[in-house]
Amino acid sequence: MASKLCCLLTISLFLVLPYFTSPSLADVSPAPSEAVTPGTICKSTPDPSYCKSVLPNETTTVYNYGRFSVRKSLSQSRKTVNLIDNYLNKYRSSLSITAIRALEDCRFLAGLNMDFLLSSFKTVNSTSQILSPAQADDIQTLLSAIITNQQTCVDGIVSTASAWSIKNGISVPLTNDTKLYSVSLALFTKGWVPKIRRKKRKAAAWETNSKQLGFQHGRFLMSDRTRSIYETVSRRKLLQTTNDSSDEVLVSDIVTVSLDGSGNYSSINDAVNAAPNNTNGVNGYFLIYIMAGVYQEYVSIPKNKKYLMMIGDGINQTIITGNRSVVDGWTTFNSATFAVVSPNFVAVNITFQNTAGAIKHQAVAVRNGADLSAFYSCSFEGYQDTLYTHSLRQFYRECDIYGTVDFIFGNAAVVFQNCNLYARLPMKGQFNAITAQGRTDPNQNTGTSIHECTIKAADDLASSNMTFKTYLGRPWKEYSRTVYMQSYMDSLIDPTGWSIWDGTFALSTLYYGEYQNTGPGSNTSSRVTWPGYHVITNATDAANFTVSTFLLGDDWLPDSGVPYDGSLL
């Protein structure tokens, strides 16, 4: 994972909120409709001094300040793209391949930021009132992801030790951009987000423990070949027609991938390229059925391939594998075997691997930056940094995740439910940390929620004669937020539960919580005594991290057909 950077923002002021949230500054008075000076409104931001330096010197409402800040952020994101492009064009021949890859990551992420800021500005420019919980969550998610994208870029540059000129010429202005984006997020949270911004919007009729997906074909005319494919998949109980129209999952088209040439395509990337661009999902998902086989290819699903669904023949049957690693010159970000940033992505019955091994350190199997994405009955296999839950809103159900150091990491708003988390045998001198959550700003709506899962040792660790410590997580960034709820923890979990990152870094600003877990590793009597660690005793507090509340999952998961439990057991 990226280098041990401390958060770029210095937080000197925060409110003491109910303990199920991390410190946030957006609830500082005054009311959104009140006209105030920049000095007053900037008290609602992480860095008041910087905030005052960028806002106009006039007395107005948080809505006008927020619009100004988001507009300025959008303008700055365009400048960032140009800065990186110019740097690559001017210095590419003199840079190492690792430095080039770090800059290319930055270019990619800066492009996403432009899109997110444009969407955000359209919303804040259209209204001066508190939004509905769903609308507010959409924009707060985008503004949170912008900061994450920027931090990922800076981390990649800083870890490129040989490129001093890059650090000096790019990371410094990017650091200032991060502060600006933080102001935009804080002002949006202050003005547009309701006090209770996550609320169950409808009954979770899709809550189920079923292992089957309730898929319906949808409304399109099938060719004989497509119908044959559909019926074949249906017989495998991956797609199932139901009589209840409310349980339909619409599929607009189906293509197959097969290594033996019997499908429409022999590579997954070719099938992805064939998917339509920028669909709105009205006609359903573009379904790629990947037949059993070992697919040795690096798959990257771009932002324009929306409403894409991939279904394999099962864990250890359909396997996508690669072996890129940081040791071999890749950044953590682009070491992923499988990467996705397209909204509303769904994957079912697939194994994703990075086989670089523990000796190659950071080596990602899947990097997910896809909003409203879901993985169901999938396996993620690696060692250090197996699953990069990078950003935006994500859900994982009945999945297996294997790894050693920080093997679930990132800064998404993510819930794992009914999953198996397997700690593997690390290298000598290492310890296992299941999570490394990367929240850098107190107003980001991000965090890792592990609900109804099982935490055990993988076979290699269980059978080893060596002793290794395994922790629930450690704070990668200053506002790291992770909770374990109603999960089974086997005896491999160290009694202290959680590990430091570096000295006392983040121990008072993080939020780590445990609620009603079971098993020999769940005893909290010897847990860490950090200010940010909590044994949650109130179900109302724990409910903040459920699918229905933390992800507003009732609004989007039913369309995917992936089963979920919206609330606590």
Structure tokens at 323: 């072996």
Length of the chain counted residue by residue: 569
Catalytic residue chosen out of the listed positions 105, 137, 406, 441: 406
User: What is the layout of strands, in order, in the sheet containing 387-389?
Assistant: 299-301, 338-340, 366-368, 387-389, 405-410, 432-437, 470-473
Nearest to 333 by CA among 102, 42, 76: 102
Indicate the burial class of 194 (C-beta count within 10 angstroms; 0-12, 13-18, 19 or more): middle
Q: Are strands 511-515 and 393-397 parallel, antiparallel or unpaired?
A: unpaired
Report the alpha-carbon distance of residue 252 to residue 261 in Å, rounded. Answer: 23
Kindly provide the residue ranges of all beta strands, DSSP E only, lying in 360-489, ordered along the sequence.
366-368, 373-376, 379-381, 387-389, 393-397, 400-403, 405-410, 413-417, 420-423, 432-437, 447-451, 454-457, 470-473, 481-485, 488-489
Q: What is the DSSP letter of 498?
A: B
Q: In whole angstroms, what is the distance from residue 442 CA to residue 439 CA?
A: 8
Cis peptide before 30 (omega within 30 of 0): yes
Give catalytic status of residue 406 as yes or no.
Answer: yes
Angle, vertex CA 512, rays to CA 568 and CA 13, nearest 5? 120
Rounded Cα gap, residues 146 and 110, in angstroms: 8
Is residue 206 exposed (0-12), middle (13-18) or buried (19+ Cβ within 10 Å)?
buried
CA angle 475, 479, 484 (to 5 degrees): 65
**Catalytic positions:** 406
